[in-house]
Structure 1
């Protein structure tokens, strides 16, 4: 395994115990705060191309063939995952399944770039990604997804399966073809939720839906209940022991070619011109919680969960 700390903000620096553990494990630091201020929330193609070039560096801690694991700060940067996914798959010849743990589906359409809420579309453009399986959503993004810009054609195409942790049916205007995670009925998408299936039953179902030998795992810690993580976004309901169980079960049956972890808290900082800064500030006022958490408490809480995720991911990616 190759361990990377991608510094797009100061979130990881606020967790010195975790950084020390990573350094002891041979982690490579990638310093990209300037790029982070530019691409936070969303970035244009040229900006993301430049960031990808910076992320792609000399192999460290296991050689180029070892699977990469990257911790990268706030969930405002989840759209960096497609870049990490491409790097992880560059030496692969066979298709992989993308396993996506998140409180948000990250499936909206976004023109001229990639948004932290749109990146699933970019990831599924990779010819080696057979499909994505999104797990744990509880957020209001599922309430009226068409109105919010969701690319629900991914469901029709069989490129995406989405399993909320718990959520009512989604109101929609058109009919969608049934899939392993849903069916459409009377103007609603009925989801197969983890709560309805039962956590134990869902483990077996998830494993049965992975039809490739290899997987890439991406984790946004906002999938977790607030007792386990403090993020820039609203929190889901999943417990950390259950997330760890799912990762272990996946790792026991499939080869993990790469993984990333996001969802730390950091105070937003933007660059790229006044119009962009104003637009992004306006966006977070609409989409993110109004009252920021205590930064010290957030760092302590997130450091603890990062330690545990590092431990379980190291075990399954060894």
Structure 2
């Protein structure tokens, strides 16, 4: 099985039996790592330099203790709490040492120019990857709300940064009905043989997940089918999953929200386990 890393920032996984099962397995399985990030300051939505140093050290230590001898420095599957921590995909892709395409499932473009220079954020991490990662070739963002694409174009224009859009393909929320055909067409273009996939569950409908951001309309069946298409003849370098509910965010039925996310994480985990080519 691929290496699995769970980064717990808020304690939300305590409400999910499946994730607690992974935590128990981590005690005896060297390829499953449970990282307690709850005491690292400066991580909520924005990640400052000290927090990045602490997180990178923790991640390095986890990778170094992996027993999967076929794994590279980028282990396979990473769970990292709610959408406020989606910037973790930037830290994980920093470890990639070969050309790759980045595929992101998200209801938001996550390409905002930084409000504070040098501060990594959940809303701007894709731009940071495009600006600073020499190995990323192209980015495909799936499920973005249509109106947010126009807003991010304007934001990037005001920041004189529209050139990065030359390497970005948006598959809008309104185009999800034809998602598989869109992807096959996109991936038939010249591309690198390696992919990195990052999933924010807010791209999914509220019938599939309970998150702390406004959500899209992607179904689990569409997500699973798309993952299969992406894995055909491509090496998967890593897959990230975020989009839990925020623990301080009120839901009418918190237990139902946790049960929904628990079931989704279990289905996602087993779907990803079966994909070919995950390192």
TM-score, shorter chain, exceeding 0.5: yes
**Shift, 1:309, TM fit:** 0.9
Per-residue CA deviations over 1:139-195 (Å, capped at 9, x if unaligned) read 6523533555677845665222111121xxxxxxxxxxxxxxxxxxxxxxxxxx334
- Matched-pair contact (CA < 8 Å) for 2:156–2:162: no
- Matched-pair contact (CA < 8 Å) for 1:231–1:264: yes
CA distance in 2 between partners of 1:107 and 1:307 (Å): 29
Correspondence for 1:69? 77
**Shift, 1:65, TM fit:** 2.2
Q: Could you say if the C-alpha distance between residues 256 and 304 of structure 1 is closer, same or farther in structure 2, counting changes exceeding 3 Å?
A: same
Residues 1:33 and 2:41 are matched in the alignment = no
Alignment of 1:204-215 (within 5 A): 204-209=184-189, 211-215=191-195
Correspondence for 2:107? 103
**Shift, 1:9, TM fit:** 1.3
Task: Structure 2 unaligned segments of length 5 or more: list them.
Answer: none
Per-residue CA deviations over 1:12-60 (Å, capped at 9, x if unaligned) read 222122331564483211111122x521111223322222112221232
Question: Larger Cα Rg: Structure 1 or Structure 2?
Answer: 1
Superposition RMSD in Å: 2.4
Residues 1:311 and 2:270 are matched in the alignment = yes
Correspondence for 1:243? 223
Q: Could you say if the C-alpha distance between residues 127 and 267 of structure 1 is closer, same or farther in structure 2, counting changes exceeding 3 Å?
A: same
CA distance in 2 between partners of 1:12 and 1:123 (Å): 28
Q: Could you say if the C-alpha distance between residues 303 and 210 of structure 1 is closer, same or farther in structure 2, counting changes exceeding 3 Å?
A: farther
- Matched-pair contact (CA < 8 Å) for 2:251–2:257: no
- Matched-pair contact (CA < 8 Å) for 1:155–1:161: no
Q: Could you say if the C-alpha distance between residues 164 and 23 of structure 1 is closer, same or farther in structure 2, counting changes exceeding 3 Å?
A: farther
Residues 1:123 and 2:129 are matched in the alignment = yes
Correspondence for 2:51? 47
Aligned length: 264
Q: Does the residue aligned with 2:207 lie in a helix, a strand or coil?
A: coil
Correspondence for 2:256? 297
Q: Does the residue aligned with 2:228 lie in a helix, a strand or coil?
A: helix
Q: Could you say if the C-alpha distance between residues 104 and 20 of structure 1 is closer, same or farther in structure 2, counting changes exceeding 3 Å?
A: same
TM-score w.r.t. structure 2 length?
A: 0.85
